[in-house]
Chains A and B, each alone.
Chain A
Amino acid sequence: MIETLHTIMEGAVERLSYQVTTILPGLLAGLVILLGAYLIARGVYWLLQRIFKGIALNRFLVQSGISTMLDRSGRFNATRLVAATSYWIILLVGCLTALSAFDTNLTSRIIERVVFLFPALVTAALIVLGGAWLGQYLSRSTLVWAVNEGIPSPRRLSAVVRLIILFVAVVVAADQLSFARNVFFAAFIILVGGAVLAGSLALGLGSRGVVQRYFERKASDSEMPMERSLQDHL
């Protein structure tokens, strides 16, 4: 009995010492790498904030509307973008290096997965960013057009345009990542189909009078001397 207990204890200690001797150095090395990566990332962030001006990139961000898209106040700038991107890339590389220090099957698989997924992830992020930009552009176009044409609820209309574009971008991005493909696709079909049906019904039944009055008003407006005078007399 005592001998059996002794054997079990010995085995447990052996396994523990084996695990300590194999995992602990890796863990310690990983922690050191992670700490180093964090410190480097902070340092690079601090340095870039001070030395990188990125005037041309900044102009691009402002003029393309990306700056206001990411931060309504318009304070988002090239320096912040480059510093934050560098910070996260260094941190990600640090994490992967720290994981590789363990040198186990599991960590190798995780690293492999991340490395393979990275391009798809970047592509998906770019798709969402592009969708957000296009959504902003088209929603503003819709807003200005609707206001100038006197269409009712222009802001709601522009928000709908923005959401639809963003949703399409998310569907495409999810497809790129092979993430819940069917769910997104089904949701997309249901949404678009539903929107078309609702629109048709609304136009056909509920809003018939409104649409009729709107077009009548437009037709009579073009006959009005006020409009003619503004258009004819630059």
Chain B
Amino acid sequence: MAEISLPDETRHAVELIHQADIVVGIPSYNSVRTIGHVVQAAHAGLAKYFRQFISVVINSDGGSKDGTREAVLGTRVEDTHMLLISTPLFPVHRLSFPYHGIPGKGSAFRSIFEVAKMLGAKACIVVDSDLRSITPEWIDLLVRPILLADYDLVAPYYHRHKYDGTITNSIVYPLTRSLYGLAVRQPIGGDFGISARLVSRYLERKDWETDVARYGVDIWMTTIALAESFRVCQSFLGAKLHDAKDPGSDLTSMLTQVVGSVFTLMQEYETAWKEQSGSHRADLFGFRYDVGLDPIEVNTDRMLAAFRNGCKDLGEIWALALHPDNHKALLALSCRANEDSKRFHIEDELWVRVIYDFASAYKNRPLERGHLLRSLTPLYLARVASFVVEAHSLLPPEFEEKIEQLCLCFEKLKPYLISRWNGEAISGPAPALSSPAANVGEISKR
């Protein structure tokens, strides 16, 4: 593995601290508004729940120009003492340094893991710097399963608005679950607890300088843990509320990085997922409760306009990736999207086939991978629009049931993925798409 270069003063500071039991990593970029709160929560959580452990809070910064690092080092934690009944045995150390390499969340994680390994930490957790809803309990919930129950990866489990986490809901969660057989509800949640064993495994890997360096890192971490049979659980953290990200960052890049990472890892762990059928839920820690959530406004007309444009202009590219029947079905949907956007609907089966076609095309490369992944954006927007239309009047449990049905559909069509993946010609037309109602009935019988 190519060694990452930590700044000299960081290396020196790590040598001075010498050893730590728990490392809390906070990757950041221009998060001055929120990072103080995250640091305070981390401090309070460590002091309150892990007073007998030596702990370090690390901020790995991507070159913020708004004083994020100064905010980390200058955050006062005296106020948090009122949360504590007993005095911590050791002070909580704090480090803030700029990471080197490809700018992105993954590179920041890599520096954090490197420091955690140097310090011999038993548990390392990472939390986003833009969180507004983090509490000291998050630290406890992410660390305790590792220290006391010997888990290797603690994934977050949040309450989120039904229109929130659309890449997770429509692609990453159902696909990861059907592939590796464990239902981790927020595989790209961003806040994780990781054991020393798993940290070492991550650092051994040679693919840090790919999409992993950017937004692909979350699914990369989860997938490695699942595919290599590390012990994975979830902790209920309440609501996830966070600040708006950099408006300059664009949706297509994020989608490309996340989905590209999933597809790349599918190639690596082909034998693992091909043998897997069905799924079961990952253990869930924490007391579940209902929370109020930020409303999210969605404009489906704009999404459907993007889909129509895609159907009109991207036929050349989609024809190389999609099964002809699926392509035809999408074109027919595009016409229907013109007629009545309020009743627009992409059936689960069609959506699953589209994703499986893209995964297979990514492997078999009938066209350049970047083009393939970027051409997924209009389809993804159409699926989100369909989700929004269908879920408009659904209550959270009903919405979850809908996601569950989608997951089961992903599992049901796994043989289709395997045949497409192996490059086998699907003899005759793809099985006819059933109506949504029939779909539900079929899945219920399972």
Contact = CB atoms under 8 A, between A and B. Distances in A.
Contacts of A224: 297, 299
A144 B320 contact: no
B310 A229 contact: no
A51 to B, nearest CB: 22
Contacts of B168: 234
Interface of B: 160-161, 163-168, 172, 188, 190, 215, 218, 242, 244-245, 247-252, 254, 258, 296-299, 302-303, 305-306, 309-310, 313-314, 316-317, 320, 364-368, 370-371, 374-375, 377-378, 384
B313 A148 contact: no
B366 A232 contact: no
Contact of A230 (B218, B242, B251, B310): B251
Nearest to B250: A231
A68 B367 contact: yes
Nearest to A59: B365
Interface string A149-175: 010001100000000000000000000
19 contacts: A62-B366, A74-B366, A137-B368, A144-B317, A144-B374, A147-B314, A150-B306, A226-B298, A228-B247, A229-B164, A229-B296, A230-B166, A232-B242, A232-B245, A233-B296, A234-B166, A234-B168, A234-B190, A234-B258
Interface string A129-159: 0000000010011011111101000110000
Q: Give chain A's interface secondary structure class.
A: helix
Contacts, number: 99
Q: Name the 6 nearest CB pairs between A and B, nearest first.
A: A225-B297, A63-B365, A233-B164, A226-B299, A222-B247, A229-B296
A68 B364 CA distance: 14
A74 B167 CA distance: 32
Nearest to B314: A147
A227 interface: yes
A25 interface: no
Interface of A: 62-63, 65, 68, 74, 137, 140-141, 143-148, 150, 154-155, 222-234
B343 to A, nearest CB: 20
Given A137-B368, A222-B247, A230-B166, A148 B258 contact: no
B313 A147 contact: yes
Contacts of A223: 247
Given A62-B365, A230-B166, 18 more contacts: A65-B367, A68-B366, A141-B370, A143-B314, A144-B314, A144-B374, A145-B374, A150-B309, A222-B248, A224-B297, A226-B299, A228-B247, A232-B242, A232-B244, A233-B165, A234-B190, A234-B254, A234-B258
A154 B367 CA distance: 19
